[in-house]
Amino acid sequence: MGDDAATKPSNGFVRTMRKVYHPIGFKKGYNAMLCFIFAGALFGFTLARLQYLSIDGNFRAGTAPGEWFWLGKGFRKVGITLHLATILPAALLVILQFIPIIRYKALLFHRLNGYVVVLLLLLSNVGALMVARRSFGGGFELQTGIGLLAIMTTGGALMAYINIKRLQIEEHRAWMLRTWFYAGSIITLRIIMIISTLIVSQLGGFYRAVPCEEISFIYEDSSRPGLRDDFPQCFTPNGTTNGWVAVEAKFAGDASNPVQIGTSLHTTFGAAAWLALFLHAIGVEIYLRLTPKEGERLRKISYQRQLEAGFKHPGSAGLTADRLGDADAWEPPQTREEKIVN
């Protein structure tokens, strides 16, 4: 798709929308629409989670049953506090990085804000890894999923940083988009988890081992009576396996036991994390493949700036496919035109 700024508006709606997105720097309608959808989702999700900065208040009240038993003490409380105190501000600030008018009119702010966002993201990954062992049940599939997400976002941020230091703007754009699409999978994760939880509850037969200490905490925390009646094995000699009992995952229907509700959420969270990350990783690559003109436009700008800065291999001074792989060597526009004439 070309630049729609030079084309005549076909109807009143298009004219009206251009009056909205042109002043903030967007030249193409589909770019403005996609930014509104994805940045809007991130903005809304983050605003809804700002209340969780009250760790002992709103966050504790909003955790899944049994979650606070593990996260409310020791270094894991430090971890969840670090994670929320860094990722929430980062998610708000990064939206500004994708507003074109800010890059055009306030480049210094864009650069400084970028450093702050990357630093906050890296610190949030540290916090996430600190709680991975016990967050939402701490299953091995969840631990590996959180670890992979931390690796992908850290690696993506590093690639973006290296490329911008080499003035490889189109690669910087691509890696920053990848990084935050990966991070944004936490939103899709929640949707998948809710759907999966309802399915698991309907199918039945899904169990998770839960320690009696956690079960007792859930009952006390919710002021629910009947612990001995619901889980007599916790009070029976040799009634458990090292203090752990099997609890069926049930979220809806006639099951209102908070232990079963927590079990259903813990059972599906890890799988939802993997599926969400997969969808976002594929989605951002599709977007990048569908916007080659934007990448080429930025590469021409990279070429000019690298040439002025005295870099070797202008146009490919960063981490590009033609330098690191077997892609055809990129050539500046004038060189291509000369070859066509000859």
- Answer whether residue 30 shows pLDDT above 80: no
User: In which band, very low, low, confident or very high, does the pLDDT at 194 lie, cut at 50, 70 and 90?
Assistant: very high
Question: 207, 247 in Cβ contact below 8 A?
Answer: yes
Question: 269, 136 in Cβ contact below 8 A?
Answer: yes
| Residues comprising the chain, all counted | 342
Q: How far apart are CA 249 and CA 263, in angstroms?
A: 5
CA 74, chain centre distance (Å): 26
Which helix (H) or strand (E) element contains residue 209?
A: strand 207-211
Which two tokens mark 135? 């967050």
- Answer whether residue 341 shows pLDDT above 50: no
- Which of 58, 320, 285, 271 is closest to 166 using CA atoms? 320
> Which pLDDT belongs to residue 340?
40
- Which of 21, 35, 26 is closest to 287 using CA atoms? 35
Question: 318, 170 in Cβ contact below 8 A?
Answer: no
| C-beta neighbour count of 241 within 10 angstroms | 10
Q: How far apart are CA 156 and CA 121, in angstroms?
A: 11
Q: How far apart are CA 214 and CA 240, in angstroms?
A: 14
Please give the C-alpha separations between residue 248 and each of 28, 38, 196, 227, 265, in angstroms, as whole numbers: 51, 36, 15, 16, 11
Which two tokens mark 67? 């979650």
- DSSP per-residue codes, 121-173: HHHHHHHHHHHTTTGGG--HHHHHHHHHHHHHHHHHHHHHHHHHHTT-HHHHH
- Answer whether residue 311 shows pLDDT above 60: yes
Lowest-confidence region among 48-62, 133-147, 181-195, 323-337: 323-337
Question: 32, 26 in Cβ contact below 8 A?
Answer: yes
> Which pLDDT belongs to residue 36?
86
Name the pTM for this structure: 0.89
> Which pLDDT belongs to residue 254?
59
> Which pLDDT belongs to residue 27?
78
Question: 171, 295 in Cβ contact below 8 A?
Answer: no
204: region left, alpha or beta (phi > 0 left; psi from -120 to 50 alpha): left
> Which pLDDT belongs to residue 342?
34
pLDDT digits (tens, 9 = 90+) for 269-291: 999 999 999 999 999 999 999 88
pLDDT digits (tens, 9 = 90+) for 236-256: 888 888 899 999 999 876 556
Q: How far apart are CA 319 and CA 166, in angstroms?
A: 8
Which two tokens mark 261? 């509700």
Q: Is the dihedral of CA 256, 262, 265, 268 positive or negative?
A: negative
Q: How far apart are CA 66 and CA 258, in angstroms?
A: 9
DSSP secondary structure letter of residue 241: B
